[in-house]
Amino acid sequence: MCGILFTNIERVSKQSFQNALSKMIHRGPDASLCYESYNIYKYGHNRLSIVDLDARSNQPFHSSDNRYVIIYNGEIYNYKELAKEHQIRMRTNSDTELLLELYIRHGMKMLHWLNGMFSFVIIDTVKNEFFVARDRLGVKPLYYYHDEQGYIFSSEIHPILTIIQDYTLDPIAIRQYKCLRNFFNGRTTFNKVKEFPPGHYYYKQINKYWEVDYSEKLPPTDDELFYLINSSVQYRNRADVSIGSFLSGGLDSTIVTALAKPEHTWTIGFEQSNEFEWSQIAANQIGTSHHPLIMEAEQFLLLCSEIIQRKKDVISVPNEVLLYQMTSVASSTNKVILSGEGADELFFGYDRIFRWASEKRNWDVKQFSELYSYGSEEDIEIIEDALKPYSHYKTPLTIVSSFFQEAHLRGLLRRLDSASMLNSVEVRSPFLDYRLVERLAGVSINYKMSEGIIKAPLKRVFRNMIHPEIIGRRKIGFPVPVSQILPDGVEGRTPYEKWFNYNLTLLRGTL
C-alpha cells in the first residue's frame, strides 16, 4: 500500500512535484519521496512496505532492461500463483515486479487475471507512452487532472491541488454531498479533479475492462459460498508484516476474523453508543487479544478538524473519524487490518431499501430519495444523476443492487482508505473479492433473504463458527451520535445537514 504521483505536464517543476508528493507521505513512510523523471514524465512514490520488505522492491521499480518503470499502490493477492502460471522468474518476492512483468508480456489483458486492489502507472521509455489502471471496484483510490498539456494522476486529491493551485469547489459535487453524503460519476469536491473510474485503464484514452453482470443467476451451494469467502480471506491473510482485524461483533467482521484468526482485533465506540458486548463475545470465542477503544465527543471534533486539514477534503460518513482513531491506535501493533466491508452490498444487508425495491414493479425515484437521501431538502435532479449509470436496468431491484454494489460502496471505500492510510495502515476487505461479486450479482433476493432472514446464507454457512448471539443480533451499523456531538451554532435543520455544513466550513478554512 502506497502513494503514487505522475504527470506528463511539462510546466510542472521538479520542486512543485516533490512538494505535492510530500502531501501524502503518510501513505508510504518506509521509503518516502522517491522521485524520478524521464523526458517530460515525472513520477514519484511513497512506500508502505507490506510484501518483500527489502529495499530492492522500492519504487519507482524498473524492468531488468530499464525500458519500463512502474509506480503502484495496492496488493495483488494471487501474485505467487500468477508468477508460477506464467513462468516468471522473479528478482524479488514482490507483487510489484510480477505486475510489471505481466504487463510487459501480455499488455492490458493481464488486468483480468489480477485478484487484488490496485492503481498503477507504467511508463514505456522506448515508445514514450504510459499506461494507467485501477482495480475493478475502486478499492484503491486514483484521482486525475487533465488539461491541454497532459495529465496528473495521484492516489489522493491533495497533491493535485498543490500542483494546480487554481481550483474551486464543484457546486454539483457539493449538492451530491449534501443530498447523498457521497460523490458520484467521477466528481470530487473540486471542479478540476476527477476520480478515475474503477474497472478502467488509460492508454491514449480511458477504456473499460470490467463490469458486473447482473443477469439472473442460480445461487451458489453452501460449500461453494464457504470456499469463495474462505479463499478471499486467506488471500488477504498474506503479508510479511503483522495482520489484525476490525471486530465490531457484527456478522461480517466476525466471519472474517473467525477465518483469519489474527492475534489482535479492534473496535471503537462512544461510552453510551458502542458494540463492545458483542465484539467481546466474538473475540472470546475466536481467541483474539481484543482492543475496545472509547471515543470522546471533544476528541471526535478535534479529529474532524485534523482529518480535513490533512487530506484537504470533507468527511463523508461520520464513522470515518472513528476508523481514523482506531487505525491510529492499531498502527503500533498491526500494519495490515482486515475488514468486513462489502458484505452488506453482496447480501442485501440494507434490508429496508432492498425489500422496497424487490416489491416495486416500476421505478419510483421519489420513494428512493425518501429512503436513501440524507439532506433535508429533496433534490431529485441529483438523485437521477447519481443513478444514471444504473437506470437502464429493467427492475427496481437491479437498479438498487447495482447502485449499492458500485456507487454506494465506493463512497464507503473512500472513507476506509482515507481513515486508514492517514495512519499508514493498509485495510483489506475479503468481501470485495471480485469472484464473490461476480458470483452473487443477479442471485435472487429470496436466497439472500431466505424466509425473511437478513444475510441468511452467511448465517447458515457459518453458524458453527459464529456465536449464536451474534448470528441472532440486530444490525445497528457503526453508530455515531452526530446530533449530540456537533457544537452549537452549526446551521442545519437535521443532524446530517449540520454535519455537511460543519465539514464544508472546516474545509473552506483549510484552503
Tens digits of per-residue pLDDT, 285-336?
999 999 999 999 999 999 999 999 999 999 999 999 999 999 999 999 999 9
Q: Residue 271 contacts by C-beta under 8 Å, 6 or more apart in sequence?
A: 294, 296
Measured CA to CA, the distance from residue 269 to residue 480 in angstroms comes to 8
Q: What is the DSSP letter of 431?
A: G
Residue spans of the domains in the chain: they are 2-208, 222-350+413-510
Beta strand spans in 63-102 (E): 68-76
Q: What is the pTM of this model?
A: 0.96
Query: What pLDDT was estimated at residue 59?
Result: 94
Measured CA to CA, the distance from residue 195 to residue 186 in angstroms comes to 5
How large is the average pLDDT for residues 365-382? 94
The reply to whether omega before 60 is within 30° of 0 (cis) is yes
Residue 130: how many other CB atoms lie within 10 Å: 21
Look at residue 476 and tell me whether its pLDDT is greater than 90.
no
Catalytic residue among 2, 34, 179, 304: 2
- List, edge to edge, every strand of the sheet that includes 61-62: 61-62, 68-76, 116-124, 129-134, 200-202, 206-208
Average pLDDT, the chain: 96
Q: Residue 201 contacts by C-beta under 8 Å, 6 or more apart in sequence?
A: 108, 111, 131, 132, 133, 134, 207, 209
Q: Is 34 a catalytic residue?
A: no
Residues comprising the binding site for ATP? 268, 339-340
The neighbouring-strand residues paired with 200 are 208
Residues comprising the binding site for L-glutamine? 95
**2-208 and 222-350+413-510, same CATH topology:** no
Measured CA to CA, the distance from residue 96 to residue 81 in angstroms comes to 14
pLDDT band at 482 (very low <50, low <70, confident <90, very high): confident
pLDDT band at 132 (very low <50, low <70, confident <90, very high): very high
Query: What pLDDT was estimated at residue 264?
Result: 98
Q: What is the DSSP letter of 404?
A: I
- Cell numbers 486529491: residue: 157
| 8 A C-beta contact, residue 232 and residue 433 | yes
Query: What pLDDT was estimated at residue 436?
Result: 98
Least confident span in 75-84, 186-195, 478-487, 497-506: 478-487
How large is the average pLDDT for residues 25-43? 96
pLDDT band at 272 (very low <50, low <70, confident <90, very high): confident
Measured CA to CA, the distance from residue 120 to residue 135 in angstroms comes to 9
CATH number of 222-350+413-510: 3.40.50.620
Amino acid found at 139: V
Measured CA to CA, the distance from residue 369 to residue 179 in angstroms comes to 9
- How big is the CA angle at 267 (ends 405 and 158), to the nearest 5 degrees? 60
Read off φ and ψ for residue 141, nearest 5 degrees.
-75, 155
CATH number of 2-208: 3.60.20.10
Tens digit of each residue's pLDDT (9 = 90 or more) over 37-61: 999 999 999 999 999 898 888 999 9
Measured CA to CA, the distance from residue 143 to residue 439 in angstroms comes to 29
| 8 A C-beta contact, residue 143 and residue 156 | yes
Residues comprising the binding site? 95, 268, 339-340
